Amino acid sequence: MPDHYTIDLRHYLDEKGIVPPLPAPAMAIALFCGSVVSWVSGWPGTDGELTNVQCRHARSRPPCHGEVHARLAPDGRIEWRCQACGEEGTISGWRGTRWDRSA
């Protein structure tokens, strides 16, 4: 069964809004979510569109070669899903971060 992640991006930032040194798994999640946020916030009005973000399991064994579809939900969260492996999640706390390209 695919995993579902609920991420608040602020949990990966320090008080200055910078990603501090983190253990490798946490850093990978922060950078993956940041990439999804950058794509969705930079392309307003998309609805479940294919992004240029590769599935975060690309380096796992066996690797997933899927690409992430993402959209801005009505409640302001970003929803994402890999169409190949089914992994999915939601990202909140992204507005005003270094990855927010909506302004």
Query: Over the stretch 63-98, which tens digit does the pLDDT of each residue have?
Result: 788 999 999 999 999 999 998 999 999 999 999 999
In a domain, 66, yes or no: yes
Distance CA 51, CA 84 (A): 13
Residue 97 lies in a domain: no
Task: Flag whether 78 is in a domain.
Answer: yes
In a domain, 72, yes or no: yes
Q: Is residue 103 part of a domain?
A: no
Say whether pTM exceeds 0.85. yes
Does 101 reside within a domain?
no
Which of the two residues, 82 and 103, has the higher pLDDT score? Answer: 82
Give the burial string for 55-84 (b: 16+ CB within 10 Å, else e).
bbbeeeeeebebebbbbbeeeebbbbbbee
Instruction: Provide the number of structural domains found in the chain.
Output: 1
Distance of CA 101 to the CA centre of its chain: 14
**Is residue 18 assigned to a domain?**
yes
Is residue 43 included in any domain, yes or no?
A: yes
Range of the domain at 69: 4-92
User: And the tokens for 2?
Assistant: 């695919």
pLDDT at 1: 62
pLDDT tens-digit profile of 5-54?
Answer: 999 999 999 999 888 999 988 998 999 999 999 999 987 665 668 888 98
